[in-house]
Structure 1
Amino acid sequence: MFKTQKTVALLLSAAAVLSMVALSGCQKNGGSTASTDTTVRPTAADVKKEGQLVSYGMPDTWINWKGIFASFTSQYGITHQDTDMSSAEELAKFKAEKNNPVADIGDIGIGFAAGARKSKVVQPYKNKYWNDVPSWAKDKDGYWTAEYTGSIVFLVNKSLVKDVPQSWADLLKSEYKGMVVIGDMQKHAQSQSALLAAAMAYGGNEANIKPGLDYFKKMYKAGNIKDVDDSVSNIQKGEVPICVLWDFNALNYRHEIGDDSAYDVVVPSDGTVTSAYVSVINAYAPHPQAAKAFQDYLFSDQGQTQIAEGYARPIRTNVDMPADVKSKLLPDSDYKSAKLIKNYDTWTKTSGEIPDLWRNEVLS
């Protein structure tokens, strides 16, 4: 499952976001204009006065948003609501609703971050813990900041799969025909990162995903790809034998299903990618003080620990997490094959080309 389980007509990618017409910095019908000082902290009184925080693409089942929002809203005495959608859809909604803004914040794949800034649909803010975030994981002016990382893994239902695959090479075997679910390559950061992970396993990188396209073409022609939604409900019903997804989703879904012993979470031994999701504030946020307060909370020790409770790896490495929380994550030794994306500007451009490349080079 990605950050939406619904079939939608909008198929925006990072490239589509990059091509948005530049928006003015003015707000016509409410909302906010970004402050020139990106470190002005919201007061509790201002947040309480706004009374609400609205998010896009931050559903209960993704990392630990349910617990995080519960703690945050309790602290300030405000309410929260979310509408589940993909990264591209979040930014498109920010733009479409600029004259009557609804959402304050979003959580998007880092491949969409540069486009978000270029299209002027996000505003800058440097949270209280800005200096603790690695330089690669934040926009230098504060337009986006990575909250957590994820690595592409396999979630394997052992009751349906006799031999648990350990590598991308394994997934090409005939014994996995009709078993591998990869999600929607047309619009989801998770699926597109799976393509990059496979490309890296075969010598590619963010500038060269042809090895990944060639790999998935082989898998498609072999009939190993199963075209179903990789929702937790489908996984639980046994419709998803093998799922390619973020590690935090794999671990979380296994926990939700309630039988850890029935599922293996495997970091592919021949290569995978580690990427990040970033927090953004709508340029037209109707509750800008609540949005900034939420970022301060999210990057605090408490917020980062709650992210780990949702099986994601916090972006801050100087948080002293309790042992029982740290044990929820896979051991560091499992990630020997994982590589960070070196150039996110390049990946933004490349990921924007994936929908067409997928249709023309894999599905054709």
Structure 2
Amino acid sequence: MRTGLAYLLGSTVALSLAAAAPAGAEDALVVAAFGGKHGETLQKCVIQPFIDKTGIKVTVDQGVSTVTVSKLKQQKGNPSLDLVWLDGEVSQVAEAEGVFADIDPAQVPNIANMIPEGVYKNKAGKITGLSDGYYSVGIVYNMDEIKQAPTSWFDLWKPEFKGDVTWPSMSDGSGPAMLVYVSELLGGSVANLKPGVDKMKQLEVAAFYDSGGNASNILARKEATIGVLDSGAVWALADANPFKVGFLIPKEGGLASDARLHLVKPSKAAYAFLNYAMTAESQGCIAENYFYGPAVKGVKLSEKATSRLPWGATGSIKDLRFSDVNAINAHRQEILDAWNKDVLGRR
């Protein structure tokens, strides 16, 4: 899942409250969240309903996941954030930094209604994160401009798409995974990135993007007409623009991940927020508005939302392909170096 870019970085937006009386300071929360359509969806489906139900003040610190994690590391021991939403891949990196508080399941009764895959634990078996919905990464394209649908990831290298492609940078959650995936498809691996790096050096892009919201803006402005994007951002783009948007999982397969919610500073208010975010009401709203697959059981969805889920109308999380996040994390510095020195350095 997916966030804004320059206009979001470092900005903090205080949401207005509908409570009859002001909450005390001990009941105020600061929550790091995504921007763009994803952030709007979280406000509509989680944040504002929580405010309305509890009267607890919530301040939203918007930014991309990598910036949020940098803030957590800088403020370790004295964090300003109570809870954070992060892209799945970035979440795994942050967990290794020890910046999350353990989640007490007794304080989050709705964990009992979650699918097992959506409850993340550290090596000690402590819960450190909860999924707030799944997406799948595939190819998005402007059907008004591109009449013949692509079928392969490598169609993005076709001459007709030269300078017309948008692709995730290393700041986006899917960026490192996509570089590794391209390497694997060409016979390499997470420990042998050369095939993928050599291929990426040949890709003529309109722009690399740092977030799904940034990618959507690039496509909406028609600076690019094809690219790599997660399913949630794709359908938000489709509903917000007059041109027809196509989306497909290439024949080689797609990559899946999720958005995760983490506890940083435990409190009664923070646990109440976390518990509300894991309700069928909340995640059903996210699925209807941003089309992420719920991590909560028993969510009833419209036909439109069901058809747009990352696993399709009749599938489940079992049908998604996830990258080996642990392996990527173990080689993260090599991945970043390869991207910055060999891919971007040759442009």
Compute the TM-score of the two structures, normalised by the length of structure 2.
0.79
Shift of 1:338: 5.0
> Equivalent residues in 2 for 1:205-244 (5 A)?
209-219=193-203, 224-227=204-207, 229=209, 230-244=214-228
State yes or no: 1:172 paired with 2:148.
no
Q: For residue 355 of structure 1, what is the aligned residue in structure 2?
A: 336
Cα deviation, residue 174, structure 1: 0.6
Q: Which residue of 2 aligns with 1:83?
A: 61
Aligned counterpart, 1:289: 268
8 Å Cα contact 2:254-2:321 kept in structure 1: yes
Matched, 1:151 2:136: yes
Tell me the amino acid that sits aligned with residue 235 of structure 1: L
Task: Tell me the secondary structure at the aligned position of residue 73 of structure 1.
Answer: helix
Q: May I ask how many residue pairs the two structures share in their alignment?
A: 317
Q: Secondary structure at the match of 1:88?
A: helix
Q: 1:124 and 2:102 equivalent?
A: yes
Q: Structure 2 regions of 5+ residues with no counterpart? A: 11-21
Contact in 1 for aligned 2:180/2:190 (Cα 8 Å): yes
Give the one of 120, 127, 130 matched to 1:142: 127
Q: Is the 8 Å Cα contact of residues 201 and 272 (structure 1) preserved in structure 2?
A: no
Give the direction of change, closer, same or farther, for the CA distance of 1:143–1:337 in structure 2 (3 Å limit): closer
Which of 29, 34, 40 aligns to 1:53? It is 29
Contact 2:120 2:127 in 1 (8 A): yes
Give the structure 2 partner of residue 66 of structure 1: 43
Give matches, 1:1-364, under 5 Å.
3-6=3-6, 49=24, 50-59=26-35, 61-62=37-38, 64-68=41-45, 69-98=47-76, 101-125=79-103, 126=105, 127-131=108-112, 132-135=114-117, 137-139=119-121, 140-185=125-170, 187-202=171-186, 209-219=193-203, 224-227=204-207, 229=209, 230-257=214-241, 259=242, 262-282=244-264, 285=265, 288-309=267-288, 310-329=290-309, 331-332=312-313, 338-341=320-323, 343-363=324-344, 364=346
Residue type at the aligned position of 2:287: A
User: In the superposition, relative to structure 1, how do residues 133 and 167 fare at CA in structure 2: closer, same or farther (>3 Å)?
Assistant: same
Q: Distance in 1 between matches of 2:286 and 2:64?
A: 19
Tell me how far 1:248 sits from its aligned partner.
Answer: 0.8
Distance of 1:320 and 1:134 partners within structure 2: 19
Over the matched positions of the two proteins, sequence identity in percent amounts to 21
Equivalent position SS for 1:61: helix
1:59–1:65 contact (8 Å) kept in structure 2:
no
1-structure distance, mates of 2:166, 2:196: 16
The amino acid of 2:71's aligned partner reads K
Letter in 1 for 2:30: V
Distance 1:208 1:296 in 2: 42
Asked if structure 1 preserves the Cα contact closer than 8 Å seen for 2:138 and 2:228, the reply is yes
* Maintained 8 Å contact 1:196/1:273: no
The CA deviation at 1:200 is: 4.8
Q: Tell me, in whole angstroms, the C-alpha distance in 1 between the residues paired with 2:188 and 2:255.
A: 11
> In structure 2, how many angstroms separate the alpha carbons of the residues matched to 1:228 and 1:61?
19
Cα offset, 1:269, TM superposition: 1.8
Determine helix, strand or coil for the equivalent of 2:197: helix
The residue type paired with residue 197 of structure 2 is: L
- Deviation per CA, 1:335-355: give whole Å up to 9, x if none: 9995223x4322222344322
Give, in angstroms, the shift of residue 159 of structure 1: 2.9
5+ residue gaps, structure 1, are 11-46
Cα pair distance change 1:360/1:135, threshold 3 Å = same
- Aligned-pair distance for 1:209? 4.8
SS in structure 2 opposite 1:198? helix
2:129 & 2:109 partners in 1: Cα distance?
14
Amino acid at match of 1:217: K
8 A contact 2:156–2:227 mirrored in 1: no
Going from structure 1 to structure 2, the CA distance change for 1:144 and 1:210 (only over 3 Å counts) comes to: farther
Using the alignment, how far apart are the partners of 2:296 and 2:231 within structure 1?
Answer: 18
Flag the 1:304–1:60 CA change in 2: closer, same or farther, 3 A: same
Distance (whole Å) between structure 1 residues aligned to residue 272 and residue 219 of structure 2: 36
Q: TM-score, normalised on structure 1?
A: 0.75
Secondary structure, counterpart of 1:226 in structure 2: strand
Please say if residues 268 and 337 of structure 1, whose CA atoms lie closer than 8 Å, have aligned partners that are also in contact.
no
Q: Write the deviation string for residues 201-240 of structure 1: whole angstroms up to 9, x where unpaired.
A: 4456656655433432332xxxx21226544333222112
Return the alpha-carbon distance in structure 1 between the equivalents of residues 197 and 134 of structure 2.
24
8 Å contact 1:59–1:83 — kept in the other structure?
no
Question: Which residue identity lines up with residue 70 of structure 1 in the other structure?
Answer: Q
Q: Which has the higher contact order (CA 8 A, sep 6+)?
A: 1
CA distance in 2, matches of 1:238, 1:59: 21
Tell me how far apart the structure 2 counterparts of residues 9 and 66 of structure 1 sit (CA, whole Å).
18
